[in-house]
Amino acid sequence: MENTDASSPERKLQCSDVGKCFQLLERILDGELVEGGNELLQEKLDQCQPCFAHFHLEQAIREVLKTKCTKQPLPEKLAESIRQMIQDAR
């Protein structure tokens, strides 16, 4: 039973270039880095504990943002009143 945040003996505990690596991981998560992105990601996740933790943290934040912050209920008559305004403007 593997915990996604479990440390693995194969992973190094220090990342030598944390600034660059983390920004790279974030771009991959944003879908902005396509070429060679998957291989690079796999390599980081397999071999570097700080990258592994950061990737899962960023992923969790994106998921929570999406589920918690996108459901502002639309005022009941807004769409209707916009259609009416357009009608009147014609």
- Binding residues for other proteins, rule: CB under 8 A, are 4-5, 18-19, 22-23, 26-27, 30-32, 50, 53, 56-66, 68-72, 74-75, 78-79, 81-83, 85-86, 89-90
Closest to 25 (Cα-Cα) out of 4, 46, 47, 54: 54
**Cβ at position 10, least distance to other proteins in Å:** 20
Residue 7 contacts residue 49 (beta carbons within 8 Å): yes
Could you give the maximum distance between any two Cα atoms of the chain, in Å?
69
- Based on CB atoms, which residue is closest to other proteins, 8 or 81? 81
**Cβ at position 12, least distance to other proteins in Å:** 15
Amino acid in position 2 = E
